Amino acid sequence: MVYFDNAATSFPKPDVVYESVMKAMKEYGANPGRSGHKLALRLGREIFETRELLANLFNIKNPMNLIFTFNCTESLNIAIKGILEKGDHVITTSMEHNSVLRPIKAMERQGVEITIVKGDSAGRINPKDIEKSIKKNTKLIITTHISNLTGTIMPIEEIGKITKKKGIYFLVDAAQSAGVYPIDVEKMNIDMLAFPGHKGLLGPQGTGGLYIREGLDVRELSQGGTGSVSYELEQPNILPDRYESGTLNGPGIIGLGAGVKYIMEKGMDSIRKHEEELTMHFIEEITKINNVKVYGPLNVEEQGAVVSINIGNQDSSEISYILDQSYNIEVRPGIHCAPIAHETMGTLEQGTVRFSFGPFNTHEEIELGIKAIREISNQL
């Protein structure tokens, strides 16, 4: 079986991730931050270690400014709803995932104004178009780091310069980049960074995180028990507790920590280089095949390990079905939860067949993928 669906969830995980999850569940599966006994303290300590690891990875000064969530979608909801208010203006791009678009659409009904800056035919966003859209009431700019449809890498450092200059908050959706591409919240002027644990960071599902810049007053989405100031009926105002109500996914976070450690030991650059090689070769070969349309910038300086294609006018679901059934190759078809990005690409009806590569994919697998596309294209 060849798994090319790493943009949905990375698979497999490093062995150390499986082992860490199991160890946490079996040996110290208590409730962190609640009780004071040995098991609870051990889990609490190791969760803090994961916080530190992630803080290091993203150059976050204080690990307490990094909160754990259920998934990247929850992180984005907290960031968007916690900062925007009636009368505010928010700018985002046509390349966003529904995890950004749907929350801002919900805020629109509460009186928030939206501007969506359109990408070009390869999904590129021009920072100047963002700058031009800024109005007096612009409070927040949201952009994905890497498009989940076309793999297009966005110029977040340049956008961060604009938001800093203009005093606007900058929220980055790192769903497709965290763990693979360098992210420095200081250098890039990122005020809030949302990321999943189960994609590039190689952790288990049920994990995600949000960085909130020190001093930024983001309203919490949920309230509940935090294991801190338990005598108070008001949600505590301290970080990370304010945003971490109820029991965390302890073993999941431990597994995420193991994933981050694996990346650091292996070297994020070397993982990225490997993915770039696979992506580059894949793009080079499939663009030569008759009838195959490949979306995105088509070069690894501008495109991550996500490649969307179509074969002729064939329905993307049908192609994926053939890949799965006849070739045992697992990809994702259809509309990739990014409707305006599909509009931008002109693929809202056909969808796309998305190939997304991870650290455990091999050159041999890429060859199998290329061969399969060639054969399917010939047969149609």
For a copy of itself, the closer CB: 34 or 164: 34
Question: Residue 122, interface with a copy of itself (CB under 8 A)?
Answer: no
Distance CA 120, CA 167 (A): 27
Question: Residue 73, interface with a copy of itself (CB under 8 A)?
Answer: yes
Distance CA 326, CA 314 (A): 17
Query: CB 107 → a copy of itself: shortest distance, Å?
Result: 10
According to CB under 8 A, which residues from 341 to 380 bind a copy of itself? 342, 348
For a copy of itself, the closer CB: 188 or 373: 373
Query: CB 358 → a copy of itself: shortest distance, Å?
Result: 12
Distance CA 296, CA 137 (A): 33
Q: Which residues contact 167 (CB under 8 A, 6 or more apart)?
A: none
Among 38, 128, 165, 166, contact with a copy of itself (rule: CB under 8 A): 38
Question: Residue 21, interface with a copy of itself (CB under 8 A)?
Answer: yes
Query: CB 117 → a copy of itself: shortest distance, Å?
Result: 16
Query: CB 177 → a copy of itself: shortest distance, Å?
Result: 16
Instruction: Give how far the C-alpha of residue 127 lies from the chain's centroid of Cα atoms, to the nearest Å.
Output: 20
Question: Residue 145, interface with a copy of itself (CB under 8 A)?
Answer: no
Query: CB 218 → a copy of itself: shortest distance, Å?
Result: 14
Site map 287..326 versus a copy of itself, x via CB under 8 A: ------------------------------x--xx-xx--
According to CB under 8 A, which residues from 190 to 249 bind a copy of itself? 196, 198, 204-208, 221-227, 230-235, 245-249
Q: Which residues contact 169 (CB under 8 A, 6 or more apart)?
A: 83, 139, 140, 141, 163, 191, 192, 216
Query: CB 136 → a copy of itself: shortest distance, Å?
Result: 26
Question: Residue 84, interface with a copy of itself (CB under 8 A)?
Answer: no
Query: What's the 3-state SS for 298-354?
Result: CCCCCECCEEEEEECCCCHHHHHHHHHHHHCEECECCCCCCHHHHHHHCCCCCCCEE
Query: CB 4 → a copy of itself: shortest distance, Å?
Result: 9
Distance CA 335, CA 103 (A): 18
Among 66, 72, 146, 263, contact with a copy of itself (rule: CB under 8 A): 72
Tokens of 272: 């990225």
For a copy of itself, the closer CB: 59 or 317: 317
**CB distance 214 to 22 below 8 Å:** no
